[in-house]
Chain A
């Protein structure tokens, strides 16, 4: 197991009060595997990524355990984390237009990772940067290296971001909506590139997206998040063919299908509850058409419904197991490991 995330909770201070953004999120990533995290805006998927990298705002409270290659990195000091970031674990962000420093050349920005984490000489670094640019499919690398981000197109900039993230051959690559800001043809190229890099390096990838098309394209396994909690996890084909959680079903129904003319796309009524007003029971209960009495009061636990397929929903909960009515966020520590 490359990455093991266990019961990670995150609270951020907003207007003087802590509110819980992530609630006991657990999942894992294997070498050479792409794990998708999907969910709508504000479900905590980006915050999950930033928690892994520990790139959080000043007043953040992070609990739980994060292990990277069996190292408990959640206990690392900030200084020790700096050695992990960009080295064993690196990250690609959503908007390549704003994620590159406008005043530094492309080469300098890629080189910085090498400067920080390797002992290569100046010439060796330059050679490596040119190789990286070639690896991510950029032409005329030896000129590009001295150009500035504003001279490049969006797709090229995202390739630069990928080259930057790949500089130190990370074991884990976290991609936060890497294709959202790009146009569709470029999206496909970038996804293909990431698949290719994964095959070549056997790194693990976390792909954060709200685009189920992207999930289908690159992911091996999917984690569905809702309101700061994991609600379903399954291999990608299984999830698309056989979604269990009513929220996941809703997501699937909202995908337009080619050749099928529908009156209206499926949508999920209602809105996501805010972190300040989380319901006592299942967080999706208010929007769920199949909600039962138990859903309003008791938090469902992750339950195995099939091999490698788990969901947190009372519809599938083993009726024999009695749960504490006021469970709330104080669930047993093994919640996701049934």
Chain B
């Protein structure tokens, strides 16, 4: 039922607000919130460095979790993630091209264009007679990702001195985030809202395309919408923080266990949880990890957790 998830949503919301407050105080130097009124440096650290970073982490986490939920429903496969349709490979290629050829100028724009462009290409290739069969979409996404990765490797091979910068960027992180990034990231709540408005349709399409037609869903139109909005969400995430893995895969999974599969509850829960998880991963990275790329932490924690979920699934 709908209210099954309400306690979880309230709890997650409270946790997120609390975490936002705590995480701006933590860092290489811990700062009490009260000190910002007396200490100009403290004010600067909190408002110009930590706050944009913390907000960006929450929004990127929310974007990846929402896009992940949508892709898992669209592909009727709980193993799908937001990058499955070429988003991360395309975004990475765009970013790396900018680093190699333009010394990093317009990196965000290149990354976003690469991510959305790759999805559009996958969509165009997989489309047949006004329809996109999900299997074809999936395979095309995998194939194009491999192709783009090959191009990426080629660029890295010839990149010389900028290789370290590339590798660092590819691992994903928030250390360069400024208020400008947050302004771009404000598109994320809008995208999440659009997906949420289609939550009931997403429930139905997760049963199967034919079933969804029988129940009055304009399936092909919904697919285009989900692909477009998800790729924009994932594209913004990649542009801001690089291709951070596992958040988009694990979060919907975890929330499905807690609140059930109804996307009207699952999507809000995933938005909150995605933000929360990435916020703490990044806080850990900048506080204890010596600015270790946050992608390492999410993968390091995410992969074993994922295997644990798989085990549970097999035993159930």
Bound pair (A, B): no
